[in-house]
Amino acid sequence: MDIVCKLAGKFSYILDFIARWFVVALMVLVVGNVITRLFGSPIQGTIEWAEFLTAMAVGLSLAYCGAQGGHIALEFFVEKLNIKVQGIFQSVIDLFSLAFLSLSSWRIILYANDLKLSGQVSLTTQTPYYLFIYVIAFGFLAYGLVVLGSLIDNLRKGVQR
């Protein structure tokens, strides 16, 4: 297996591991808010932080989901073709996906920069939005790395054939 593929696999696993704890944090925060609300003092900014935690959990787990083949694709057309043609199609698709993910990552960073410059913060806890948007951009970049690994792997196998 190619070094990029291995690296992307390990890197995406680490990000996913962090994302899992954001899910736990989300559960604890929301349940904590329900309990404290019973006593008349809910946790301020729960909704804002639930949004931030969800955004970070999703952003950081995108790449590992991709590495595990978790993003749904329709199989029934391509799987009827021979292996060589499948490999060519997969390389083309990986190339397109890589371009989209890199472009998205770049544009999300620019969007975060804009929000940073304009000083936009959340209403209740005054938390800057851009921090979480950078995390999402990073997740897209990591997913791009996973796709790059798959592309190199495919091309190498194609040359060997």
Q: At what angle do helices 130-160 and 3-38 cross, to 10 degrees?
A: 150
| Burial class of residue 115 (count of CB atoms within 10 Å of its CB; 0-12, 13-18, 19+) | middle
Q: Does 95 bind another protein (CB under 8 A)?
A: no
Q: How many residues bind another protein (CB under 8 A)?
A: 55
Q: Does 59 bind another protein (CB under 8 A)?
A: yes
3-state helix, strand, coil in the chain (%, to 5): 80, 0, 20
CA distance 138 to 61: 11
Among 20, 84, 125, 156, binds another protein (CB under 8 A): 20
Token pair belonging to 92? 């083309």
Among 5, 8, 45, 66, binds another protein (CB under 8 A): 66
Among 110, 125, 131, 156, binds another protein (CB under 8 A): 110
Q: Does 30 bind another protein (CB under 8 A)?
A: yes
CA distance 40 to 102: 47
In the complex, the residues that contact another protein under the rule CB under 8 A are 16, 19-20, 23-24, 26-28, 30-31, 33-34, 47, 50-55, 57-59, 61-62, 64-66, 68, 70-78, 89-90, 92-93, 96-97, 100-101, 103-104, 107-108, 110-111, 129, 132-133, 136
